[in-house]
Amino acid sequence: MNTRLNHGLGMALLAGSLILPVAAHAGRSCQARPPTTQSVELGLALAEKTLASLNASGERVVLLARAGQDLSRYGLRYSHFGLAWQVADGQGGNTWHVLHKLNGCGTAEAALYRQGLGEFFLDDPWRFEAAWLAPTPQVQARLLALLQDSRRAISLNHRPYSIVSYAWGRKYQQSNQWAIETLAAALEPGVTSREKAQAWLQFRGYEPTTLHLGPLTRLGGRLTAANIAFDDHPNDKRFADRIETVTVDSVFAWLARAQLSRPGKAPTLVGP
C-alpha cells in the first residue's frame, strides 16, 4: 500500500499523510461541489475547537465522529468516525491525527487516510458538530500501539465498499466497519483477519444498527449509486427489510456497555 505526504495547507492543524489518495468522502452525500468560504471557515473553526477540547481532556486516543449526513430519520446523530491520537507538532506542542476510511466519490472502493483535524472537518458536513469518546486507559494504550504501527493499522482494510455493508459480512467494508474491526485487532492480539475481528466483536456483545429499508429504497439506492449494495446481507434479513450495519451511535453505545470507554463518560460534544 503506497503512502505519500499530503502537504495540503501546510498548517500544523492540517498536517498529515494520505494513504491511497483519491477524491473521497465518507459519512456524507457524494455531490461534486466546490467548498464555500463559509464552509471552510466553519470547518476550520470546528477543528480548532475540537483540538482545544481534546488537548484539555488529557486523553491520548479517542474515537472522533462527525455529522456528515442527516440520519435523523433513522434515529442516528453521527455518520462517520475515525481513530484519533495525539502527536507532537514539532514545535513543543501537540496536535491530533485521525486515521479513517473514505469512499472514492462515485466508486465502489475506499481507502485509508491519515489526516489532521482541519482536513477531517473540511468535508462539507451536514452539521458542523463533532463528538469524541475516550476509551479506558488500557484500550487507549493498545490503540496507540496499533496506530503507530503502519502495517498493523492498515492490515484489515478491504477496498470493496458499500455504505450499508452487512456488519457480519466480508464482501464489502464501510468506514465505521473498518474502524471497529481495527479496534478489535488492537484489543485482541489473535485478531489477524476480518473474520476473527467480527467473531471477537460478537463475543464481546457488539450489536449493529438495524435500518428498516424497503425494497423500493434498496432498489433505488443500488441503481443510482456505485457505493450502495445490499447483496451481502442474508436473504432472510434483507427481504424482511432489516439492514444491519455499523454506525457511530451503535459503536459508542457498545463501548460503554462493554466497559471499554471511561466509566460514566458520555461522548463529548463540540459544536460550531
Spatial CA neighbour of 82 closest among 251, 234, 232, 265? 251
Q: What is the pLDDT of residue 122?
A: 83
Q: Is the pLDDT of residue 7 over 60?
A: no
Lowest-confidence segment of 37-46, 79-88, 150-159 by average pLDDT = 37-46
Residues 123, 159 contacting (CB under 8 angstroms): no
Over the chain, what is the mean pLDDT? Answer: 84
**Computed from CA positions of residues 258, 79, 232, 162, in that sequence, does the dihedral angle turn out positive or negative?**
negative
Please compute the mean of the pLDDT values over residues 106-128 and round it to a whole number.
87
Q: What is the tens place of the pLDDT at every residue in 18-69?
A: 333 334 445 444 555 566 777 788 889 999 999 999 999 999 999 999 998 8
Q: What are phi and psi of 111, to 5 degrees?
A: -140, 165
Q: What is the pLDDT of residue 135?
A: 98
Q: What is the pLDDT of residue 68?
A: 83
- Say whether 14 sits in a helix, a strand or coil: helix
Q: What is the pLDDT of residue 124?
A: 67
Residue 152 CB neighbours (<10 A): 15
**In which domain, by residue range, is 167 found?**
3-270
| pLDDT, greater one: 122 or 185 | 185
Q: What is the pLDDT of residue 38?
A: 75
Q: What is the pLDDT of residue 94?
A: 85
DSSP 72: G
Q: What is the pLDDT of residue 74?
A: 84
Residues 209, 188 contacting (CB under 8 angstroms): no
Q: Is the pLDDT of residue 163 over 80?
A: yes
Alpha helices in the chain (DSSP H): 37-57, 117-120, 137-147, 150-153, 175-187, 194-203, 215-224, 235-238, 248-257
> Cell match 463518560: residue?
265
Please compute the mean of the pLDDT values over residues 216-234 and round it to a whole number.
68
* Count of the separate structural domains present in the chain: 1
Q: What is the tens place of the pLDDT at every residue in 136-147?
A: 999 999 999 999
Q: What is the tens place of the pLDDT at every residue in 90-106?
A: 888 889 999 999 998 77
pTM tops 0.75: yes
Q: What is the pLDDT of residue 169?
A: 98
Q: What is the tens place of the pLDDT at every residue in 171-201?
A: 999 999 999 999 999 999 999 999 999 999 9
